[in-house]
């Protein structure tokens, strides 16, 4: 039985029952972000899509949704990167190698990689947006012949906020990858671009007929980044975003992630800009009838 079938069988038994995951590697990536590599019991593969998330639980503490940042091509383990931002994530940060956590999932809709085959990619990551995008980037690197040109645009508040520095340095060395970085505020050692991430989009080489733009970052970033992408005539259905909204169950039962009847944990977290426009249209239509 293949790994995905094993996972489905486990979830059929009870989608609320977590699998046991062992921490096989942990390390700090910054002052606030910690990296975790996890093996599922029996060493089965997570069988996720880039862009999906899992529900992580600590017995006696709670549960939270966390994006997977490894590629499906990484076999025998999967990776998470977590910012210490509350009681649950603080407890997670205290865990060490060989500790165990509960894992449910994977959940949600990932990036539509099948639709992207043969297309150029421009990947825009703001701050923590690089975490779910690392899954996509690693997948593209491992299936490089299936995609066209790849441009990666990274933006952070300061140089010390960049994550996965060793990996990004390796990406930068690859001749077929164009990687550009910018910071809002430089330190004395920074020699790169200073400015908002939209300044990188202006210089991006784009053929709108054959490109997908994938954008993940803080909510305030989306409006301005998408505006710049639209100026380059990229079609709405070829602009991909990932929405982070408070999720609690991962199964569309609790309603915490609902937007006008759409459950982000089920229909997302990945959407096209065209889909978001449809949601907005439905909201306006309902308001007009009220």
Question: Percent of the chain at pLDDT above 70?
Answer: 91
Q: Is 4 exposed, middle or buried (0-12, 13-18, 19+ CB in 10 A)?
A: middle
| CATH class held by domain 113-241 | alpha beta
pTM attached to this predicted model = 0.90
Which residues make Cβ contacts (< 8 Å) with residue 116, sequence separation at least 6? 147, 212
Give the model confidence (pLDDT) of 18-28 as tens digits: 999 999 999 99
- DSSP alpha helix (H) spans, 111-244: 113-116, 130-142, 165-173, 198-202, 219-231
- Torsion of Cα atoms, 80 then 120 then 115 then 138, to 10°: -20
Domain edges within the chain? 3-107, 113-241, 243-290
| 3-107: CATH number | 2.40.30.10
Residue 48 to residue 206: CA distance in whole angstroms: 30
Give the model confidence (pLDDT) of 71-101 as tens digits: 999 999 999 999 999 999 999 999 999 999 9
- In this structure, are strands 239-242 and 270-272 parallel, antiparallel, or unpaired? antiparallel
């Amino acid at each position: 039985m293949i790994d995905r079938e094993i996972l489905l069988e486990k979830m059929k038994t009870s989608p609320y029952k977590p699998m046991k995951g062992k921490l096989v590697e942990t390390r700090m990536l910054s002052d606030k972000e910690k990296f975790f590599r996890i093996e599922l019991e029996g060493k089965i593969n997570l069988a996720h899509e880039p862009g999906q998330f899992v529900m992580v639980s600590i017995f006696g503490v709670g549960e939270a949704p966390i994006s997977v940042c490894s590629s499906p091509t990484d076999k025998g383990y999967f990776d998470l990167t977590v910012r210490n931002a509350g009681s649950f994530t603080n407890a997670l940060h205290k865990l060490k190698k060989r500790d165990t956590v509960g894992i449910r999932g994977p959940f949600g809709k990932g990036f539509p990689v099948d639709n992207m085959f043969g297309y150029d990619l421009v990947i825009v990551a703001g701050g923590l947006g690089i975490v779910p995008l690392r899954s996509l980037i690693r997948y593209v690197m491992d299936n490089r012949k299936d995609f066209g040109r790849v441009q990666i645009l990274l933006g952070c508040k300061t140089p010390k906020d960049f994550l996965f520095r060793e990996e990004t340095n390796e990406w930068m060395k690859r001749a077929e990858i164009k990687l550009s970085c910018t910071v809002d505020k430089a330190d004395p050692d920074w020699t790169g671009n200073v400015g908002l991430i939209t300044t990188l989009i202006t210089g991006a080489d784009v053929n709108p007929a054959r490109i997908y733009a994938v954008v993940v970052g803080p909510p305030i970033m989306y409006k301005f980044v998408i505006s710049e992408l639209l100026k380059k005539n990229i079609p709405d259905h070829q602009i991909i975003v990932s929405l982070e909204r408070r999720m609690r169950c991962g199964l569309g039962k609790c309603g915490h992630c609902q937007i006008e009847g759409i459950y982000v944990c089920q229909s997302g977290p990945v959407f096209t800009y065209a889909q978001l426009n449809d949601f907005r249209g439905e909201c306006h239509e309902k308001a007009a009838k009220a």
